[in-house]
Amino acid sequence: MTDTFLELGLHPTLLDTLTELGYVNPTPIQAAAIPALLDGRDVLGQAQTGTGKTAAFTLPVLHHLDPEGLQTLILTPTRELAIQVSESVHRYGKRLGVKVLPVYGGQSYERQQRRLRKGVQVVVGTPGRTLDLIRKGVMDVSKVRFMILDEADEMFKMGFIDDIETILGATPADTRQTLLFSATFSPAVRKVTKKHMRNPLDVSIENEEVTGDNIALRYFMVRDRDKVTALCRVLEVETIQNTLIFTRTKIGAAKLAETLLERGFPASAIHGDLAQNERERILGRFRDGHLTILVATDVMGRGVDIPEVSHVINYDIPQLPIEYVHRIGRTGRAGRNGEAITFVTSRERHTLRRIEQYIERRITKAQLPSRDDVLKSRNAQFEQALIKQIESGLDDNYADVIDSLVEKGYSPDQVIVAAVQMLREREFQYPLEEIRAVSEKSSRYDRKQRGSYNDRKSSNGGRDRNRKGRGGKRHNDENMVRLRMDVGRTSGVKPGDVIYSVASTANIPGRVIGAIDIQKEITYIDVPIDHVDSVLRRMKRGGKLRGQNVTLTRA
């Protein structure tokens, strides 16, 4: 394994940039992929979020770039990831004068066309907008030397397969170098690699690189009605910097952010319904430290580069274990320590168990901060504010007031206590609410169901993703609708098959799909209410799963 970037053979200017950024040791994906890419090999890289994939493909591409002309095309599933990757390209290639342009929906065609006419070397874009620009004749990809698919699995789940195939077909197959990076390799991903890549080097990094020991994993058992109160206690007691709070729905994110603001926490929501310029404004405030709490849907689970996130809080537990990995990958970056906290209700215990099996790691059960813990934290913060005031310098104008009170018979201690009391009474402190203990049922679960972790691993390495979750006739989110599919375990159905079939056919993001309950002959799936009609209509016209026709109806 390569110990330093110096040993990889990168351009000296790139090495200077990496030194300036504080990079010394390459991550496993970087050490394995960069030498092969420098040698001109196609590379098929499998690694989870937070493992340094962006630098792994960006640095060798920058090493080979010519001064002029569009030579590199990077496709990403989301606008946020397009922006983040383009920022990384700019940061690594700044000393080389590299010109990079992110292209995505929601931004003016005219602005993007104007930048393309001026000339860029690297374009980072979402498949839809990239294909539009190619078809309009304003983006010439005939001389592209490097074609990169970043988060390929996510793009395919979101229904971009045809767009990607068309874009690949427009680039020079015989002379380009093709790089594909993905967290998972579905059959669709494998099919594209066989068709469009030349003898690729297969680089795979184990999942354990994602949930390293530098991220502390905890969960709190709590009732639904107490989640806001529990969250506020955690935010008051924990030493937080930038904090990401994940909810399952856009409505839930907006509502929670509003509630936190009302309770005195500087929070804002970010989700797919916001205009792009508003998203960028919020992210800018978050990166700059003017906003410390961001409430997000899974649009933030991947593709947003926020280097210093101290805490990731799963206000709503993710239904798919891989989404848990994507979420917590936002913290503990670049060797820093991170905290991942999850709120779990009694009915979600089995979801927690599936996550543990997937990541092959125990998530520690923790006790919620008590009322005394919160009061102690408030007192400590007030004390720090007083110390800061003292150290910044005191105003002598108030000495006359103190002397006057002492002359009237009040002791200095009485004056101090009265002043402190007045200050504390004027502070905004939300009243401390009671939190009822979760029923003993959850404790029995911890003793019996979780048991010995090693004894529970299944024959497929502990990643038993087909266990039944909630009952087939119930769902717990009023913003989701439960649908019924006429295939099940006997047909070999896996959750990934269901997500791919519905997302690609109905052209919706795979991440919005909720709980999946695979039974013997049928499968239940939760779909956001906003997408139900479209999903039912499109699946009726051409729904297929593992090559066979399927019928999808309301449960």
The DSSP result for 110-157, as a single string, is HHHHHHHHH--SEEEE-HHHHHHHHHTTS---TT--EEEEESHHHHHH
pLDDT for 6 = 82
> What is residue 37's predicted lDDT score, i.e. its pLDDT?
93
Choice among 32-36, 125-129, 273-277, 352-356 with the minimum mean pLDDT: 273-277
More confident residue, 404 or 509: 404
Class (C level, CATH) for 5-209: alpha beta
Of 526 and 211, more confident:
526
Cα dihedral 69, 189, 465, 206 sign:
negative
Structure tokens at 171: 């680039």
Q: Name residue, tokens 């799936």.
A: 525
291 has pLDDT over 90 = no
Q: What is the mean pLDDT of residues 506-511?
A: 77
pLDDT band at 272 (very low <50, low <70, confident <90, very high): low
Between 399 and 553, residue with greater pLDDT = 553
Task: Give tens-digit pLDDT for 435-471.
Answer: 877 754 544 444 444 443 443 333 333 333 333 333 3
Highest average pLDDT, of 221-230, 356-365, 384-393, comes from: 221-230
Is 321 strand, coil or helix? helix
Q: Angle, to 10 degrees, between the axis of helix 399-407 and the axis of helix 412-426?
A: 120
Output the pLDDT for position 377.
82
Please choose, from the candidates 98, 123, 121, the residue with its C-alpha nearest in 3D space to the C-alpha of residue 112: 123
d(CA 153, CA 155) in angstroms, rounded, equals: 5
What are the extents of the domains in the chain?
5-209, 215-365, 372-426, 466-554
pLDDT of 202 strictly over 80 = yes
Query: Angle at the Cα of 75 (from 317 to 249), degrees rounded to 5?
Result: 25
Residue 157: pLDDT band with limits 50, 70, 90: confident
Of the chain, the percentage scoring pLDDT greater than 70 comes to 85
- Residue 228: predicted pLDDT: 93
pLDDT-based confidence at 2, cuts 50/70/90?
low
The percent of residues above 90 in pLDDT, for the chain, comes to: 29
DSSP letter, residue 456: H
H/E segment holding residue 219: strand 215-221
- Strand 338-344: give its sheet, edge to edge: 267-270, 293-296, 242-246, 309-314, 338-344, 215-221, 364-365
Rounded to 5 degrees, φ, ψ at 162 are: -60, -40
Strands 516-518 and 309-314 turn out to be unpaired
Burial of 221 (0-12, 13-18, 19+ CB in 10 A): buried
Q: Picking from 272-286, 300-314, 319-333, which range would have the lowest pLDDT averaged per residue?
A: 300-314
Q: How far apart are CA 159 and CA 511, in angstroms?
A: 12
Distance CA 421, CA 187 (A): 67
Residue 347 neighbours by CB under 8 Å, 6+ apart: 470, 476
Q: Kindly tell me if the per-residue pLDDT of 277 is higher than 90.
A: no
Neighbouring-strand partners of residue 150: 181
Given a contact cutoff of 8 angstroms between Cβ atoms, the answer to whether 154 and 510 are in contact is: yes
Distant-in-sequence, close-in-space partners of 425: CB < 8 Å, separation ≥ 6: none
Query: Which pLDDT score, from 0 to 100, does residue 5 have?
Result: 83
Instruction: Give me the CATH code for the 466-554 domain, please.
Output: 3.30.70.330
Collect all residues with Cβ–Cβ distance below 8 Å to 551 and sequence separation of at least 6: 485, 486, 539, 540, 543
**pLDDT at 3 exceeding the cut of 80:** no
List Cβ neighbours of 271 (8 Å cut-off, separation of 6 or more). Answer: 250, 253, 254, 296, 297, 299
CB 101, CB 70: distance < 8 Å: no
Cβ-contact 208, 358 below 8 angstroms: no
DSSP β-ladder status, 267-270 and 293-296: parallel
Of 21-25, 55-59, 78-82, 202-206, the one with minimum mean pLDDT is 21-25
- Pick the closest to residue 227 from 71, 343, 58, 96 (CA basis): 343
Residue 227's pLDDT band, with cuts at 50, 70 and 90, is very high
Angle at which helix 127-135 crosses helix 161-170, to 10 degrees, equals: 40
Does 286 score more than 90 pLDDT?
A: no
Predicted confidence (pLDDT) per residue in 384-404, tens digit: 778 887 787 777 777 778 888
- Note whether 342 and 352 are within 8 A (CB): yes
Please give the Cα distance from 479 to 486 (Å, whole number): 23
Q: Strands 523-528 and 516-518, how do they pair?
A: antiparallel
Banded model confidence at residue 357, pLDDT cuts 50, 70, 90: confident
At 50 the pLDDT is 57
Tell which wins on pLDDT, 275 or 16: 16
In this structure, of 71-85, 230-244, 313-327, 532-546, the range with the lowest mean pLDDT score is 532-546
Question: Given this chain, do its domains 5-209 and 466-554 carry the same CATH topology?
Answer: no
At 395 the pLDDT is 73
Position 73 pLDDT exceeds 90: yes
Task: Tell whether the model's pLDDT for residue 107 goes beyond 70.
Answer: yes
341 pLDDT above the threshold of 90: yes
More confident residue, 461 or 244: 244
Is a pLDDT exceeding 80 seen at residue 332?
no
For residue 131, the model assigns a pLDDT of 94
Record the tokens describing residue 300, joined without a space. Answer: 């933030």
Residue 342 confidence (pLDDT) above 70: yes
Helix ranges (H only) for 330-466 are: 349-359, 371-392, 399-407, 412-426, 440-444, 453-456
pLDDT at 497: 79
Q: What is the average pLDDT value for the chain, to the nearest integer?
A: 81
The CATH number of domain 215-365, selected from 3.50.50.60, 3.40.50.300, 3.30.1360.30, 1.10.3720.10:
3.40.50.300
Tokens of residue 536, six digits: 């039912």
Instruction: Please say whether the beta carbons of 313 and 246 come within 8 A.
Output: yes
Q: Supply the pLDDT for residue 108.
A: 83
Write the pLDDT tens digit of every residue in 464-492.
333 333 333 344 456 788 888 888 887 87
